[in-house]
Amino acid sequence: MNITADIKYIGVNDHKIDLFEGQYVVENGMAYNSYVIDDEKLAVMDTVDANFTDEWLSNLKTATNGRAPDYLIVQHMEPDHSANIAVFMEQYPTTQIVASAKAFAMMKNFFGTDYADRRIVVGEGDKLSLGKHELTFVTAPMVHWPEVIVTYDSFDKVLFSADGFGKFGALDVEEDWACEARRYYIGIVGKYGAQVQALLKKAAALDIQKICPLHGPILTENLGYYIGLYNTWSSYAVESEGIMLAYTSVYGHTKAAVEMLAARLQELGCPKVVVNDLARCDMAEAVEDAFRYGKLVLATTTYNADVFPFMKEFLHHLTERNYQKRTIGIIENGSWMPMAAKVIKKHLEASKEITYLPTTVTINSALNEASKAQLEQLAQELMA
C-alpha cells in the first residue's frame, strides 16, 4: 500500500490474537504497522510482532525491491513493534538504528546488545535527512512508555505517531474508528493524559497532513476530528452527554434498582443511558463508558466489609487511569451493615474533581418504599 509516492506500508494484520496485551478482547484482530520511506537513503519505521517475522520481511523486500535499508527507526520498544529488531539487524548488517537513548537501553534488555557500533541516538528536535525527506524527532515520554519518540516528515507532512492515534482492529476489517480507538486509548494510554497533552501541543506546531500510527488505519482526512478526540480524552473532558450505570448484584435486588433507575432516567429524557453489569460485561468497555460520559452511578453490595469484587476491580481500573472531573451517584445494598458508599469514596479519594450527588440510595436487602423514593430523588439529581 502506497501512502505517498515515497512512503509505503509494510505492516501486517493479526487475526490469531484473542487478547491484546493479555487482557483486551480484540474480535477484529490487530494491525502491527510498519512503514518504508524510499529516498536517497531508505528508512524503515519500526518492526512488527514476533509472530509475523517472515511476512513482514517479505513485505519489506517487496516494497524496497530488495534494497538494503540505511536506517531502522525505532519509535517504541514494546514487543509488538520491536520484536524483530535483532532479526532485521542480522539480515541487514549495514543498517543503522535510530532511536532514543532509553530505547537503546531497552534493546540491551531484550536482545543482549545496544548496537553501540551501529546506532544513532536522537532526542527532541534532532533531524535526519534521507534526501528530500527530512525527519524531525519529537520526544513523547510516557505516551505510553518512557523511550517513545514520534517522527515528522516535513516533505510529505506525515506524522509517524507511534502508539498515539492507534486503535484495536486489523486493517482489513471495516469498523468505526472512534469506538475502538477510544477503548484502546483509555485502556492503554489513559493514565498518561498530561503527557499526551504535552505531545499534542508539540504537534500543533507542525503542518500535519497524514498520521501514520503503529496500530490502526492511516489517518488522511479530517484530522481535526481525530486530534479533537485525543484532546478530549487526554484532558479527561466529557465526550458525550449521557449517564452510565455500573452495577454488581448477587441475588438481583441491586440489579432491580438499577433497572428502575435506568427506566426513570429515560422517562425524564436522558439522551443516553448505558448500563453495565460488571460481572458479565467487557470490563474495558465499561471503563471506556465511564470516561466517555460525564455522570456515573455506582451500584453494589457490601461484601466482606468492602464492595463486590467486580466493582472493586472496576474502581481500580478507573483510578489507575486517573479518573476525574465526573459526577457520581451511589446505590448501596447491605442486609445488616451497608457500607458500600463509604468504601467507594475511599477507593476514589485520590481522584480529582469528583462531585458526589447528595442522595445515596441505601437498600437493606430489597427495594422498599423508602429506597424507591431515594431512587426517584437520585434520578432528579442526575437530570439537574
Are residues 286 and 156 part of one domain?
no
Domain-embedded: residue 68 = yes
Q: What is the CATH classification number for the domain harbouring 126?
A: 3.60.15.10
Please report the pLDDT score of residue 291 as a whole number.
98
Are residues 228 and 244 part of one domain?
no
Domain-embedded: residue 175 = yes
Domain-embedded: residue 39 = yes
Q: How many CA atoms lie within 13 A of 10 on its CB side?
A: 28
Which residue, of 234, 249, 281, is where some domain finishes? Answer: 234
Whether the bond into 347 is cis, omega within 30 of 0: no
Domain-embedded: residue 2 = no
Whole-angstrom Cα Rg for the chain: 24
Are residues 155 and 94 part of one domain?
yes
Query: How far apart, in whole angstroms, are the C-alpha atoms of residue 161 and residue 210?
Result: 10
- Digits of tens for pLDDT over the chain (384 positions)? 899 999 999 999 999 999 999 999 999 999 999 999 999 999 999 999 999 999 999 999 999 998 999 999 999 999 999 999 999 999 999 999 999 999 999 999 999 999 999 999 999 999 999 999 999 999 999 999 999 999 999 999 999 999 999 999 999 999 999 999 999 999 999 999 999 999 999 999 999 999 999 999 999 999 999 999 999 999 999 999 999 999 999 999 999 999 999 999 999 999 999 999 999 999 999 999 999 999 999 999 999 989 999 999 999 999 999 999 999 999 999 988 899 999 999 999 999 999 999 999 999 999 999 999 999 999 999 999
Are residues 286 and 192 part of one domain?
no
Phi, psi of 354 (to 5 degrees): -95, 130
What is the pTM assigned to this prediction?
Answer: 0.93
Are residues 195 and 296 part of one domain?
no
Which residue, of 234, 253, 272, is where some domain finishes? Answer: 234
Domain-embedded: residue 1 = no
Are residues 301 and 316 part of one domain?
yes
Please report the pLDDT score of residue 1 as a whole number.
85
Domain-embedded: residue 302 = yes
Tally the domains of the chain: 2
The domain in which residue 373 lies consists of 240-383
Domain-embedded: residue 152 = yes
Are residues 145 and 12 part of one domain?
yes
Which residue, of 234, 268, 301, is where some domain finishes? Answer: 234
Are residues 226 and 152 part of one domain?
yes
Q: What is the CATH classification number for the domain harbouring 262?
A: 3.40.50.360
Angle at 48 between CA 45 and CA 50, to 5 degrees: 150
Are residues 245 and 225 part of one domain?
no
Are residues 284 and 206 part of one domain?
no
- Cell (9 digits) for 300: 453494589
Are residues 244 and 230 part of one domain?
no
Are residues 260 and 198 part of one domain?
no
Domain-embedded: residue 24 = yes
